[in-house]
Amino acid sequence: MQRKQKPRADDVEQISGDFEFTEDDFVRIRGLILSHAGIYLGHNKRAMVYSRLGRRLRKLGIASFREYLDRIVSGTVEDLAAFINALTTNLTNFYREKHHFSLLQAFLHKGGLPGHSTIWSAGCSTGEEPYSIAMVLAGALGSRSQVGQVVASDIDTSVLEHAERGVYPAERMKNIPPAELKRYFLAGAGDNAGFVKVRPELRRLVAFRQINLHEARWAVRSPVKVIFCRNVMIYFDAPSRRRILERFATLLEPGGLLFLGHSENIADSRGMFRPLGHTAYLRTDHSGAIQGAARARSGGRSDD
């Protein structure tokens, strides 16, 4: 396997600011975020990293990146969580990529979510995606929808807190039809004017959890029939993407749906999924495909 060459000094983007930011600092940051969150940072992310972590240094009154990184390595779980939160990107809207929700609605109307099956929003950010899923679920199944049937997860604890509150500026509601807005949200008054809050009957359908996709266990109840993982794997390297797709295929029941972001694909899925168009995929019934992919990844070795 070829090793990636370390960039020459004249290839490294020079950052000017309040703190010295060396190539060694950036290498340490890249290693930490890769090992703890599976996020691959290219060399073109130096300025972004400096800007976001520089705010942390100022808030904590730390004088250098070296001191800050030493604190992350030897510090608390909260320090590490804040480090990861600072470097993750959270951009979302209600009913973003509307065609995905139209397909989900058709899937539900055809009986694609029996009993206590789960829909997983992996990388749920501030909650717009799982609440959009919950609105489709409630509209399609009505009283047959289950408490916590939508599992919403993210690695970023700060966005999860925002999502659990379920409070949003009213201008963020432009993609929601007026009838649904009235049915599923409460309009704020007084000091809360200009905001809306998710109604309890919708909130009950969603269970929020912190999940790192690179951890060995995922706290997601089986059986899983639908997974939304949109604009998440673009931050991972190719081996990590393959591993996660294999695990998704293992978790999803045959006939289940996988939704990815518009810039993502499943080229390495080795027959585990069949494309439906517009970055939507159907879990196939080829049980041997997962084992074959795992063997290929391990160089033909077997765990048996």
Q: Where are the domains of the chain?
A: 13-87, 98-297
Q: Give the C-alpha separation, 57 to 63, whole Å.
A: 7
- The model's pLDDT over 7-26, given as tens digits with 9 standing for 90+, comes to 433 333 445 568 888 899 99
User: For residue range 277-292, what is the model confidence (pLDDT) as tens digits?
Assistant: 889 999 987 544 444 4
Average pLDDT estimate for 203-219: 93
CATH class of this structure's domain 98-297: alpha beta
Say which of 25, 154, 243, 270 is annotated catalytic. 154
d(CA 284, CA 74): 45
Cite the beta strand spans of the chain per DSSP E: 118-122, 150-154, 167-169, 185-187, 195-198, 206-210, 224-229, 252-260, 273-277, 280-283
Active site residue 52: yes
CATH of domain 13-87: 1.10.155.10
Catalytic residue among 52, 172, 183, 203: 52
Whether 285 is a known active-site residue: answer: no
Q: What is the pLDDT of residue 191?
A: 86
pLDDT in tens, 38-71: 677 888 888 888 888 988 899 899 989 999 999 9
